[in-house]
Amino acid sequence: MAVQTKAKYGRVVLKLSGEALLGDQKFGISPEYTRYLAEEIRKVRDLGVQVAVVIGGGNIIRGATIAEHGIEEATGHYMGMLAMVINALALQSQLESVGVPVRVQSAITIAEVAEPYIRRRAIHQLEKGSVVIFAAGTGNPFFTSDTAAALRAAEINADAILMGKNRVDGVYDADPQVVRGAKKYDELTYRDLLEKRLGVMDATAAALAEERGIPIIVFDISQPDAMVRAAKGEHIGTLVHSK
């Protein structure tokens, strides 16, 4: 079988949950695992792929969850956005340590640590070869980082969204870590995703990606070279598409 050496997608948005930075920890950021993620991103960039990253903040705080404990809900969501910025800075540092130029653009203004999100500037940096990390979600409460990933992918005309899951190698009909014999899907439409309520992403994100015709590849980020294989268009994880 011939080995594919070139990337299928020229520009991608990599969506990472905050939990992707945990490694073997239960809370916070694992510097070692974050460096591993930086190395995997570097491999994709070295293929000539333009890489943007959207990262969640669930390893530090979940705005929707803390809102259940007395904190006003919108305030909780803003706290979650700040957690996303912290994660973005950690990933930025590790990317720079492996020789990758990187810019962090934040949807909320924190001029001392990140640039503001400006679409044309982001595209310019991607074309120059920098990895661009989109921090702080959409900058608005009540929207998830999944929605931010779909929105930024549409804005920068990304060819695909690579959704890296932590130790889950695709979309299943039930949690494979809980339900023995859970069925894995090799391919799904966005309609399947919503009708089966598979919980891979929220409905707003799925609807936007479907409308824009942006495919999503759901794969296990903890597997070395899985991100590279996804960027090459190899059969890995689960492909979610419009048709």
Task: Read off the pLDDT band of 62 (50, 70, 90).
Answer: confident
Pairing outcome for strands 131-135 and 50-55: parallel
Return mean pLDDT, the chain: 93
- Average pLDDT of the residues in 168-179: 89
Helix (H, G, I), strand (E, B) or coil at 44: helix
Rounded CA-CA distance 42/238 in Å is 23
| Tokens matching residue 26 | 């239960």
Amino acid at 12: V
The residue extents of the domains of the chain are 11-241
Lowest mean pLDDT among 54-63, 148-157, 203-212: 54-63
pLDDT over 80 (residue 18): yes
Q: Which CATH class is domain 11-241?
A: alpha beta
